[in-house]
Structures are given as structure tokens and as C-alpha cells.
Amino acid sequence: MLGSAKIMAMFGLSMAMGAFLAGLMLAESHYRHQLVADIQPFRGILLGLFFMSVGISLNFGLLLQQYPLILALVCTLMTVKTLVLWGLCRLSHLNNNTSLRIALLLFQGGEFGFVLFALAMLKGILSITQFQMLILTITITMILTPLVIRLGDWLLRRKVSDNDAIAPVVFDLDHKQPHVIIAGFGRVGKRIAALTHMAKIPYLALDFNLERVEWGKEQGFNVYYGNASRLEVLRSAGIENASMLVAALDNDQHTEQLVCLVHHSFPKLVIHARARDSKHCQQLLRYGARNVVSENLEASLRLGELVLTENGIARKKLQRLLQEYREQYYQKMAITAKTALHNQGK
């Protein structure tokens, strides 16, 4: 990274640009996880120093003196960037409401603008006054972002058109009958759907990946396109009358958010969740899942079963050993989760 920054400086470009490009390349390499772990302790300090330096460079006296011009720059940046982003989203075949929400989320100036404007000032392209005005412009757009997002959501709820409304998905299922909702149609979700289909149990699978949904439809699965993390999609899927929810999402963070949302909104609903490891299992139990299954454990038990079988362990003894180990593992995990909940309550 230092070498990349030095090379950029040799060509008369910003060292920060070199570090930025090196970071982008390393983020796609096999070393990205170790890099994140190494940088993590310093990230908060470096971000704090960066924004402290930005804050020190702000000239609020200039804001009072040149507020008409600065407000004009803010409005221009917000308007132009919103229109460009909205147009790109529409070209990508997103509906009007989704395009507008994305544009409102990203209309503000970026942090890298601070670096570019500082470099331009050092090279004599911008005067100190111009640099401070542009820094104020970016800062104000960042401050306005949460307010504009709330305003946009409020306007969309009140003035959404019939054709562009985010209409709830219509599912081909009798919602009055108890059914299983499978959130996620990845590796785990497909197998659960196949088992419930074979057992002739009413089910409905949701996934936000269109290719998975199309494949599932072709194979005869009852799978629909939809974001299971959104409460309105779950309501459309008949979660009020569902017998249970199976959280089988590929992303650990999304699984935690889903379990927390569903348990908060429907506390009596049974939630079974797929977890990555014991730590993730404990987290999901704290968030409201009734049962969790650790991928790592079940794979380890299967391998252990093969090892014991090859070493002459009788079938009955083998099943007893595996069951005892599984019960001890999940019991210990449940106790840990309850203890953590109790400590939080204190």
C-alpha cells in the first residue's frame, strides 16, 4: 500500500489515491480478511483523526459571510447528483420509488472530496477560500442526509402513484392455513424446501436473488422473489398465520436482523435458524430464535461419524455418542445465551 502511494506520488498524483487503489485491489484478494483484522484496531483512531482534521479546516465565519453562494452550491450538488443517480437506477430497470430512495441515500458529497480538494489547494488549483467553501458544501450535504432520507420516505408514503407503488407480492398460497416460511433459498434453504415439498407440508420460500428464484420455479419449488428482511413482504407471505419461520439466509448479519425483526413483531412465532458456529448460535438465541443449528457442528459430527464407523464402533453406540455430544453442545450454548440475556437485563 505504501509502495502504491509512492508510485502515485512519483507521477504527480495523490498518495491517498495510491493507497485507495491499493486498498481496492487488496479487498478482492485472498488476504482481505487478515488485512481487515490487522487494520481494525487502528481504523477508529485514523477515522477520528481524519474527521478531526476536516473539522479544524471548517470556517464557519465564511459560512455566515457567503451563505447564499454556499447554499446554492449545496442545492446544486444535491440536485445534480440525485438526478444522475435516479437516471442510472431507472436505466437499470428499477422502479421509480426504489430509484428515488437510492438517489436520496447517495446524494451527499463523499469523504474523498476532502482529500481531492486539499490536494487541489496544495497544487494551487483552488484558493484557500474556495477550498473552505467546497469543504463546507460537502459537510452540509452530509449533515442533511438523514433529514432528506426521512423526508423522502414520508413523501413516498403519502404521494406514491398506483403504478409505481411498492405493492406487496401476491403469493399463491392459502394464508389461512398454517404454512412454513423459508427465508433464503440458498444451499440450506433449497434442501429444507425440498424436504418440506417431499413431505407435502405447505411452505413458501423467499429469496432476494432473482436467479435462484427463477431456478427454483423451474424445478417446481414454491419460491418467490422478495426481501425477507422487510416486514411488509413477510406480511404478504402470511406470516400472521405461519406455523414457523426458518431463517436460512447466507449472510450472518442479515439472519440476525431477520430473527430480531420477526421475534419483535411476532413474539409467539416459532423461529428456527441456521447459524455459522457456536457464537452465532448464541447470538440468534438471544435475538429470539427457538432452535438454531450450527453448520460447523453438523459437518463435524458427520465426519466424526465416518471416523468412528471406520474404527469399528457399533451403530447403536455410535448414534448414542453423537446424540450425547449434540445435546451437550446445544445445551451449553443455550445456557450461555440465557446467562448473557440475564446479564443484559441487569
Element (H, E) at 47: helix 32-57
Closest CA to 115 of 5, 15, 25, 24: 15
115: cell is: 482529500
Predicted structure pTM score? 0.47
Identify whether the C-beta of residue 19 lies closer than 8 Å to the C-beta of residue 30: no
**Average pLDDT score over residue span 54-67:** 81
Q: Which residue has the cell 418467490?
A: 224
DSSP state of 109: P
By mean pLDDT, which of 117-121, 127-131, 141-145 is the weakest? Answer: 117-121
Residue 80 has a pLDDT of 93
pLDDT band at 163 (very low <50, low <70, confident <90, very high): very low
Q: What is the pLDDT of residues 67-117, one digit of tens each?
A: 889 899 999 999 999 999 989 988 887 777 778 888 888 888 887 788 788
Predicted confidence (pLDDT) at residue 31 exceeds the cutoff of 80: no
Taking the C-alpha atoms of residue 95 and residue 63, their distance in angstroms, rounded to an integer, is: 38
Mean pLDDT of 296-314: 81
Confidence of residue 166 (pLDDT cuts 50, 70, 90): very low
| Segment 199-238, tens digit of pLDDT | 888 899 998 888 888 888 888 898 888 888 888 788 888 8
Torsion of CA 100, 105, 106, 107, to 10 degrees: 70
Q: What is the pLDDT confidence band of residue 164, given thresholds at 50, 70 and 90?
A: very low
Q: Give the mean model confidence (pLDDT) for residues 172-191.
A: 77
Q: Return the pLDDT at 4.
A: 80
Between vectors from CA 162 to CA 159 and to CA 164, what angle results, nearest 5°? 85
**What CATH number has the domain spanning 178-275?**
3.40.50.720
Q: Which residues contact 239 (CB under 8 A, 6 or more apart)?
A: 181, 245, 262, 266, 269
**Model confidence band, residue 159 (pLDDT cutoffs 50, 70, 90):** low
Q: Of the given ranges (37-41, 51-55, 246-250), which has the lowest mean pLDDT?
A: 37-41
Residue 329, Ramachandran bin (φ over 0: left; ψ between -120 and 50: alpha; else beta): alpha
> Is a pLDDT exceeding 80 seen at residue 306?
yes
For residues 141 and 109, the answer to whether their CB atoms sit within 8 Å is yes
CA distance 96 to 142: 24
What element of type H or E holds 171? none
